Structure 1
Amino acid sequence: MSKRQLNVRVDVATAEVARARAEQEGISMNQYIEKLVQQDMGETGRAFVDAAAQFMKEYESVFLAEFGGEREGAGTRR
């Protein structure tokens, strides 16, 4: 995987905490920041799936009323 360099500025306290956490985990600062971003992306994905599941739960009766209980992939449309 190719890498791209990012330059970020944070306050001194944030930088010290990030460096200490990376050291505690035995990884570089770059690896620590990359890990945090990847975790954030995963949380966003989970939030989307949870929201979609809630939407389908709330509107299942509407979909069934409109489209009936047709089998998945049956290809029948109104």
Structure 2
Amino acid sequence: MAKTQLNVRVDEGTARAARERALARGMSVNRYIEELVRQDTGEAGRTFVEAAADFMKQYGSVFAAETAEERHRSSATGTGDGRR
């Protein structure tokens, strides 16, 4: 897809927030802004899936550990469903 340059002016706080949010997501400010516009124009489903995939890359091990701990508690209590 051909790219077009778009220049916008925002206050420094907004620019800082955009840089920080993009960095936190591991993407350029350009891609971050593109994703926001796509989301706003109805491509939220794809954006959500990409964000969820990024989230799971970062936190998947936390969920895996929690699931393993929950299974351990279930087998220890004999409930089979994680409740005590």
Structure 1 residue runs of 4 or more that deviate by more than 6 Å after TM superposition = none
Q: Deviations over 1:7-65 (max 9, x none)?
A: 0000000000000000000000000000000000017xxxxxxxxxxxxxxxxxxxxxx
Partner of 1:29: 29
Which stretches in structure 2 are left out of the alignment for 5+ residues?
44-84
Which stretches in structure 1 are left out of the alignment for 5+ residues?
44-78
The alignment's TM-score, normalised by the length of structure 1, stands at 0.54
Aligned length: 43
Partner of 2:13: 13
Q: Percent same amino acid among aligned pairs?
A: 63
The alignment's TM-score, normalised by the length of structure 2, stands at 0.50
Structure 1 or 2, whichever has the larger Rg, is 1
Partner of 2:4: 4
* 2:42 alignment partner, SS class: helix
How large is the Cα RMSD of the aligned pairs?
Answer: 1.1
